[in-house]
């Protein structure tokens, strides 16, 4: 049980770190390309930032799904995505992050989330594959 709590805190810390980076990236993109969206974000800066950090932490806690070895990889990805959506959408709706939008804006928000989810997942996947390849190359080199 103690080990599980440590893992949850570790994943939450990663999530907070990634959320901070994503938040800065979004703010820079808004400021550069969509100044009106940037100023709308700043009007509710505190609530938007807290929601982003909470969603980021929960998103990484959802990554614990990859520790379930009995599930196939596709199911692990689907479970992680479902956990994030089940948490992120209610947080966004209850904190008023999506309150002024139309159904089309909700759909666009979910599509953007899917793109981010896939991009982040793909980045980790390629990074891990690169590490595995280096380790295998080192094992082969030592075996000669």
Residues 18 and 57 in one domain: yes
Q: Are 88 and 113 in contact (CB under 8 A)?
A: yes
Residues 12 and 79 in one domain: yes
Residues 41 and 7 in one domain: yes
Mean pLDDT of the chain: 81
pLDDT at 103: 74
Residues 84 and 119 in one domain: no
Q: What is the mean pLDDT of residues 21-31?
A: 84
Percentage above 70 pLDDT, the chain: 94
- Residues with Cβ < 8 Å from 110, sequence gap 6 or more? 85
Residues 15 and 47 in one domain: yes
Residues 58 and 79 in one domain: yes
CA distance 2 to 36: 47
Residues 14 and 50 in one domain: yes
User: pLDDT tens-digit profile of 28-70?
Assistant: 888 888 888 778 778 878 887 888 888 778 777 777 777 777 8
Q: Between residues 108 and 2, which one has the greater pLDDT?
A: 2
| Domain that residue 142 falls in | 101-144
- The structural domain count of the chain equals 2
Residues 74 and 134 in one domain: no
When pLDDT is cut at 50, 70 and 90, the band that residue 135 belongs to is very high
CA distance 144 to 142: 6
Residues 124 and 143 in one domain: yes
When pLDDT is cut at 50, 70 and 90, the band that residue 99 belongs to is low
Residues 2 and 67 in one domain: yes
Q: What is the mean pLDDT of residues 107-124?
A: 79
Residues 93 and 117 in one domain: no
Residues 36 and 65 in one domain: yes
């Amino acid at each position: 049980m103690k080990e599980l709590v440590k893992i949850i805190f570790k994943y939450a810390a990663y999530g907070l770190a990634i959320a901070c980076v994503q938040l800065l990236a979004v703010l820079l993109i808004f400021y550069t390309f969509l100044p009106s969206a940037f100023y709308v974000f700043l009007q509710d800066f505190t609530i938007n930032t807290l929601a982003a950090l909470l969603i980021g932490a929960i998103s990484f806690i959802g990554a614990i799904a990859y520790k379930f070895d009995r599930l196939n990889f596709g199911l692990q990805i689907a479970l992680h995505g479902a956990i994030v959506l089940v948490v992120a959408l209610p947080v966004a709706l209850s904190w008023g992050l999506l309150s002024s939008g139309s159904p089309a804006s909700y759909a666009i928000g979910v599509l953007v989330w899917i793109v981010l989810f896939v991009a982040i997942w793909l980045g980790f996947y390629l990074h891990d594959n690169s590490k595995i390849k280096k380790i295998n190359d080192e094992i082969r080199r030592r075996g000669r």
